[in-house]
Structure 1
Amino acid sequence: MMLIDGQLRESVSALDRGLSYGDGLFETIRFEGKVAPLWARHMQRLAIGCERLRMPPPDSALLWQEAQTVVGNLQRCVLRLTLTRGVGQRGYALPDETLPTRIVAAFPMPAISANLYIDGIRLYRCETTLADQPLLAGIKHLNRLEQVLARVEWTDPSFAEGLVCDSRRHVVSATSANLFAMIDGELTTPSVDRCGVAGVARAAILGAFPGCRVRDLPIDEALGASELFLSSSVRGILPVQAVGDTVYAPGPVVRAVQRHWRELGFPMEQA
């Protein structure tokens, strides 16, 4: 089910700036029934993104109402909230009046084998790098071409995700998840101050594990970690089993983070 500006329809104007320039933001929100455990964090990131892009923020109460409508009777689903700057004249200049386009759509939760949460996943090392742009770093803006090009690099289904670096060979994230590593007994996650997305699952982990260090993480150091795992607001906490020929075993830290994830209200997936 999809609502566009509160109406049941499936198309937007060809002159919408989200289509023309990627001028907008989105959030991908997991629902368990009518409950979204990380809703507040999604709304916080959306507000930060609106401020960064100089867009008027949406009414969060209205978004919640529309979310409840599209979720309907789905027992478990993924809600995609897209906010564009709306229709505008040709050219990069901002329109004289901004009337954002608001798209709220719900989709069934993709099936994920419970074995992946137990045994872990394999990562492909991507050649595509993320470019520095501090103005856009952290927020979930509509331009995802870097991630698209990184994801094109592999077709082998044994790889569940790809590891992406910046131009300095510092690990940033997976193509659609954040990365955590245990290095010399210290939980660490890459900084996303110059590029990458500040995930809401990442924020939840940082809130629950305040000793986690946020810093630049060179690829060689990351690969030498004793534990690696990914965090995603949709897929949850996934241990990394291998990156190329480097093999890892899920350890006590990833298991502790998985327990916290379940305590937030996200059950273990079923095959």
Structure 2
Amino acid sequence: MSWVDGQPLGGVSVHDRALAYGDGLFETMRVIAGRPRLFERHLARLQAGCERLGIVIEPHAVSQEILAFSRELDDGVAKLIITRGEGLRGYAPAPAAVARRILLGSPVPLYPSEHRAGVTLFPCRTRLAEQPALAGLKHLNRLEQVLARSEWSDASYAEGLMQDMSGRVIEGVFSNVFLAKSGRLITPSLERCGVAGVMRAELIERAGQAGIPVAAEDVWLEQLLSADEVFLCNSLYGIWPVTELGAHRWPHGPLTRKLQALISDLSSSA
């Protein structure tokens, strides 16, 4: 199932700047019973990203299109790609470029159910470049993640851990990272690089509402390894406890279990 600019089975021009330069953004939304989960957070991140990149969209029209697509999809994953549109050769955006909307529907990934009890992380060698102008955005330039994911083929690793060029822990290849220490919840700062996930934002808010101290700050590998608990989050699978990274082990601890319970409603069709 796919739509381009609101039309089923539409095509994309070879002159689209997404193809030449990765000039655009995307959102990946879990759809249950025709409704996209964390929809307002997805829209807010998309709009903020478009504003930062100078891509003009009509938020209400985009919102209505996503909702219509989700109703038709009913259950699955809806991926929205916003490109700057067509342009001539060269980096400079064409002043008259019109943003393009691409919607792709797919089945829900079949992640092993045991991942909810604990996963093993692969220590990626690929580092994330520091670019504050793009930090937090879910832009189309994902070659760092492609390189990182190509580092392992062993299915015993559910995810890979990524650091920046200075060695700070930033995120997973397709997840955000949290650690717990002495009852306090910490997630890496994303001021230099990384994707500000919608589930990450949801967990920060819900943890605060539940009285759990939570902060976004620089995290170094030594700090991660000395944590009481570590977990990953993503809008499609929720929370995966990390129980192993190299020689280090963590429990599927009480704070991680509590947070899994706090977001249980996001996997319900009610």
Q: TM-score range by the shorter chain?
A: over 0.9
What displacement does 1:31 show? Answer: 1.0
SS state at 2:219 partner: coil
What displacement does 1:267 show? Answer: 4.0
Matched letter for residue 204 of structure 1: E
Partner of 2:120: 122
Partner of 2:38: 38
Q: Deviations over 1:176-215 (max 9, x none)?
A: 0000001233110000010000000000011112321110
Matched letter for residue 46 of structure 1: L
Partner of 1:266: 267
SS state at 1:209 partner: helix
Partner of 1:176: 174
Partner of 2:53: 53
Kindly report which structure 2 residues correspond to 1:50-199, keeping only aligned pairs within 5 A, or say none: 50-60=50-60, 62-72=61-71, 74-117=73-116, 119-199=117-197
Counterpart CA distance in 2 for 1:184 and 1:217 is: 15
Counterpart CA distance in 1 for 2:77 and 2:136 is: 21
SS state at 1:106 partner: strand
SS state at 1:19 partner: helix
- Whether 1:220 aligns to 2:218 is no
What is the TM-score of this pair, normalised by structure 1?
A: 0.93
Counterpart CA distance in 2 for 1:243 and 1:76 is: 34
SS state at 2:104 partner: strand
Q: Deviations over 1:120-159 (max 9, x none)?
A: 1110000100000000000100000001000010110000
Matched letter for residue 160 of structure 1: A
Counterpart CA distance in 2 for 1:74 and 1:114 is: 24
What displacement does 1:244 show? Answer: 1.4
Kindly report which structure 2 residues correspond to 1:196-215, keeping only aligned pairs within 5 A, or say none: 196-210=194-208, 211-215=213-217
Give structure 2 stretches of 5+ with no counterpart: none
Counterpart CA distance in 2 for 1:54 and 1:2 is: 25
Q: Deviations over 1:199-252 (max 9, x none)?
A: 000000111123211100001111111100001011111111111121111111
Q: Report the identity percentage.
A: 42
- Whether 1:4 aligns to 2:7 is no
Partner of 2:232: 230
Contact kept, 8 Å, 1:55 with 1:98, in 2: the verdict is: no
Counterpart CA distance in 1 for 2:132 and 2:57 is: 21
| Farther-moved stretch of structure 1 (169-178 vs 238-247) | 238-247
| RMSD (Å), alpha carbons | 1.5
Counterpart CA distance in 2 for 1:10 and 1:113 is: 34
From 238, 241, 246, give the equivalent of 1:239: 241
What displacement does 1:10 show? Answer: 5.0
- How many corresponding residue pairs? 265
Counterpart CA distance in 2 for 1:9 and 1:43 is: 23
SS state at 1:96 partner: coil
Q: Deviations over 1:3-40 (max 9, x none)?
A: 00111125311110011100000000111111223000
What displacement does 1:74 show? Answer: 4.6
What is the TM-score of this pair, normalised by structure 2?
A: 0.94
Give structure 1 stretches of 5+ with no counterpart: none
Matched letter for residue 95 of structure 2: D
Partner of 1:13: 13
